[in-house]
Amino acid sequence: MEYNQIVSTVKEFLVEEFEVDESTIVDDAGLIETLDLDSLDFVDLVVIIESNFGFKATGEDFKDIATFKQFYDFINSKVNS
């Protein structure tokens, strides 16, 4: 899957599932702050990642992810490894 396709898919499900304006989803914006994520939201995010990209993410995977760019890169590395 191409990187741009990953970004597009991620933005689409974030807008739909977390009801955020797509204009707030920019590469250097904080993932947790922008989406206002709590621990239950992380569970939802893990389920959405699995259904869209076919791999299981864990809470540990998110410890080094602060921005949307890092989130895209993480998904890209898993999908294209």
Span 30-51, pLDDT tens digits: 999 999 999 899 899 999 999 9
Residue 15, token pair as written in the block: 């807008």
Which residues, in sequence order, are bridge partners of residue 54? none
Span 8-27, pLDDT tens digits: 999 999 999 999 999 999 99
pLDDT band at 70 (very low <50, low <70, confident <90, very high): very high
Longest dimension (CA), the chain: 31
- pLDDT, position 35: 94
Find, among 47, 27, 46, 25, the residue nearest to 36 by Cα. Answer: 25
3 alpha carbon, distance to own chain's centre: 13
Domain boundaries, the chain: 3-79
pLDDT band at 60 (very low <50, low <70, confident <90, very high): confident
Residue 11, token pair as written in the block: 């933005």
For the domain made up of 3-79, give the CATH fold. Answer: 1.10.1200
